[in-house]
Amino acid sequence: MGYEIGPKRGVANHYGPRETDNQFGGQDNTNGKVKSVSYDFDFDKLPAQGSGNLEYQLPANTVIVSAHLVVKEAFTSASTHTMTVGLTTTAGAVVDADGLIAAAQATNALITTKGSYIKGAGALVDKTIGTAACEVTVASSHTLTAGKGKLIVHYIYN
């Protein structure tokens, strides 16, 4: 990886591979009112509220249409574990720790199997998130030692 500064305008050109970190989420190409945001994350970089200023924020009064977790590499830990996906306000107040995907959906059998596609059925799916902007949080019941996942959240914001 290297940089070159242009002599006239001082513009930096970047050469070589760039590392991307998609754990913070980013809006996918969407049409119409239904928006889509996705998070690609590793076992040691689960999406969390307030870990920086890069987290994708779901606007206040958003309605969650669906949430899906795709296991790209099996998640492992020292014991049987589950995962939850929820929302926390940008101020740090937990809205619902498993409001998108509950532990009953992200079971040990599913998250330890590569290729599992888990459809969320938490309490916030098909409901509004409330009057505060929120960030997605992913948690595991035990310390993870391996694994990769992709979370996709579809929402409507007027």
Q: What's the CATH code of the domain at 119?
A: 2.60.120
pLDDT for 144: 94
What is the count of structural domains for the chain? 1
pLDDT in tens, 100-142: 999 999 999 999 999 999 999 999 999 999 999 999 999 999 9
pLDDT of 95 over the 70 cut? yes
Matching residue, tokens 């938490």: 122
pLDDT of 29 over the 60 cut: yes
Residue 154 has pLDDT above 90, yes or no: yes
Q: Which residue has the higher pLDDT, 13 or 80?
A: 80
Domain that holds residue 134: 22-156
In-domain check, residue 4: no
- Cα-atom radius of gyration of the chain, to the nearest Å? 18
Sign of the dihedral through C-alpha 45, 22, 52, 27: negative
Answer yes or no: is 14 within a domain.
Answer: no
